[in-house]
Amino acid sequence: MLTAAPRWEREGREWPNRATSSFVRAGGLRWHVQIAGKGPDLLMLHGTAGATHSWAGLLPLLAAEFRVIAPDLPGHGFTEAPDANGLSLSGMAEAVGDLLRELSAQPALVAGHSAGAAIALKMCLEGRMAPRQIISLNGALLPFGGLAGQLFAPLAQLLVRLPVVPWILSQQAQDSRAVARVLQSTGSTIPPAMLGHYTALLRTRQHVAAALGMMAGWDLHALQRRLSTLQVPVLLLVGERDGFVPPRQAREIQRLLPQARLLVLPRLGHLAHEEQPERIAALIEAAWAAAANRPAGHAA
């Protein structure tokens, strides 16, 4: 069934980690956010076209050591959609900052997937948070190069201005096989339940429109120019089979970031944290142990 926006009583009925969910007003938006565990604040930011379901396996593991804070980004999942400016990189960074203030949260650690990593770095560069470490999970941190870079943003801007486009794309998602093909192109093999959640969200016009809006307003050139000034250590976790963000970009990002460490994950794709949450949780915990200068597995 094609709908305008995801509804908690329908698409959220079997949402992963549903018991940790709440709805919060911040920055003029009604947010869906999942909060679990006790300990240092760990902020987790999903990528474009994702939502908190992406952390289904990872959140419970990390909640044993952290207070995990995982929102649906504006317009994604069950969070209200902002205006077009709110879907830009700067708009997202400001909105997440508003949410953190409302929650009285001060992240000691941040994990961002794909575009979520770009939001995390942008927030740090703007002084909206000061974590000890950022974990970039297949971070989309550099602009597309060549002809693709010249065409991608203008095309997305054109598409997002046509109200019929989100309807057409969400209509195509009625066929779960089409969604499966897109997810397969990430280079990842994810559990069937995750395919169901992606399909349910992509059948809603709001979710699709928000993803298009992010693509249209995503200026990574400005972020790239400022990367060398970032003072927060970054761990770059890169899936060897990532079909969305070319793994070779990680070397360039490492060169630009003064305190970056790179770890390539063999046989994993763009959704590595959905494929092997236990492995990713262990790497995040080890990164935190190093950042906090204490043995892994011990409370702060």
Q: Does the pLDDT value for residue 217 go beyond 80?
A: no
For residue range 152-195, what is the model confidence (pLDDT) as tens digits?
455 454 444 445 444 445 656 667 787 888 889 999 999 999 99
pLDDT of residue 215: 81
- Delineate the domains of the chain, giving CATH numbers in brackets: 18-292 (3.40.50.1820)
Q: How far apart are CA 72 and CA 51, in angstroms?
A: 5
Average pLDDT over residues 249-263: 92
pLDDT of residue 173: 60
Please name the residue ranges forming H helices in the chain. Answer: 58-62, 89-102, 115-125, 146-160, 164-172, 176-184, 192-202, 205-216, 220-226, 249-256, 272-275, 277-292
Instruction: List strands edge to edge, sheet with 133-137.
Output: 21-26, 29-36, 67-71, 41-45, 109-113, 133-137, 234-239, 260-265
pLDDT of residue 17: 98
pLDDT of residue 143: 85
Q: Does the pLDDT value for residue 297 go beyond 80?
A: no
For residue range 34-57, what is the model confidence (pLDDT) as tens digits?
999 999 999 999 999 999 999 999
Average pLDDT over residues 201-230: 88
Q: Does the pLDDT value for residue 59 go beyond 50?
A: yes
Q: Does the pLDDT value for residue 99 go beyond 60?
A: yes
- Listed ranges 2-16, 151-165, 282-296; the one with the highest mean pLDDT: 2-16
pLDDT of residue 232: 95
Contact status, residue 161 vs residue 155, Cβ threshold 8 Å: no
Average pLDDT over residues 209-233: 89
Q: How far apart are CA 199 and CA 114, in angstroms?
A: 19
pLDDT of residue 281: 98
Burial of 273 (0-12, 13-18, 19+ CB in 10 A): buried
3-state SS class at 122:
helix
Dihedral over Cα of 231, 232, 237, 242: its sign? negative
pLDDT of residue 299: 39
pLDDT of residue 166: 47
What percent of the chain stands above pLDDT 70? 86
Question: What is the DSSP track for 127-180?
Answer: TS---SEEEEES---SPPPHHHHHHHHHHHHHHHT-THHHHHHHHHTTSHHHHH
Q: Which residue has the higher pLDDT, 50 or 291?
A: 50
Query: How high does pLDDT run on average in the chain?
Result: 88
Q: Which residue has the higher pLDDT, 148 or 42?
A: 42
Q: How far apart are CA 272 and CA 241, in angstroms?
A: 9
pLDDT of residue 144: 63
Q: Which residue has the higher pLDDT, 291 or 117?
A: 117
**Lookup: tokens for 272:** 């590595």
